[in-house]
Chains A and B, each alone.
Chain A
Amino acid sequence: EVQLVESGGGLVQPGGSLRLSCAASGFTFSSYWMSWVRQAPGKGLEWVANIKQDGSEKKSVDSVKGRFSISRDNAKNSVYLQMNSLRAEDTAVYYCTRDRIARYGMDVWGQGTTVTVSS
């Protein structure tokens, strides 16, 4: 079964850091781009960042540039999101997705992990 399982969410103070992990199974992880998408409480979806199959290309939304970093370990079938200098507005459910970009969209989604930034 194709599956993505996120972990690492929690409560963190403003200015703090958190590292999200996403474990993939059921498909050849190293063949796909991967993305993180977030959803603030009661709000819509926002793409956060994505990473190419071999990690050589990374892109992110302007609001997280310089604070968040995406990485992957193909040997562990995992993708990560390192989040630093967290702000209240980063509070959201963070989803890991298999991103087939361009023509095919994000065809596999994890269940999400919740990040709450509050003092």
Chain B
Amino acid sequence: QSVLTQPPSVSGAPGQRVTISCTGSSSNIGAGYDVHWYQQLPGTAPKLLIYGNSNRPSGVPDRFSGSKSGTSASLAISGLQAEDEADYYCQSYDSSLSGCVFGSGTKVTVL
């Protein structure tokens, strides 16, 4: 059971916009800790996609955006492309556990 809850899957047609939620609690996201997002393409290592809730590392397309409010965060992918098919994970810090926590992961399927 992951500390951060994500939907198991989301899907959309090419060009559409999809969002992935990441729900935490008062000991992690709600405590003010930043949320980061990772993309894991099939058979590869995860890659940092969004850091500090809403910032994109160099090279990440601006189709990807992040936000945070209260005890939750969201990742949005606009103009969905076939290459976006991957697993996505949110990550934060939890003060009760005194360590990093990951979300349960969401598989994005492009129809």
**Measuring CB to CB, which residues of chain A are less than 8 angstroms from any residue of chain B?**
35, 37, 44-47, 50, 59-62, 95, 99-107, 109-112
Contact = CB atoms under 8 A, between A and B. Distances in A.
B102 A105 contact: no
Interface string B89-111: 10101000111111111000000
Given A105-B48, A105-B91, A112-B45, A45 B97 contact: no
Interface of B: 2, 33-34, 36, 38, 40, 45-48, 51-52, 57, 87, 89, 91, 93, 97-105
16 contacts: A37-B46, A37-B102, A44-B89, A44-B104, A45-B89, A45-B102, A47-B102, A95-B46, A104-B51, A104-B52, A105-B48, A106-B38, A106-B48, A107-B48, A107-B51, A107-B57
A1 to B, nearest CB: 14
Contact of B51 (A44, A60, A103, A109): A103
B99 A47 contact: yes
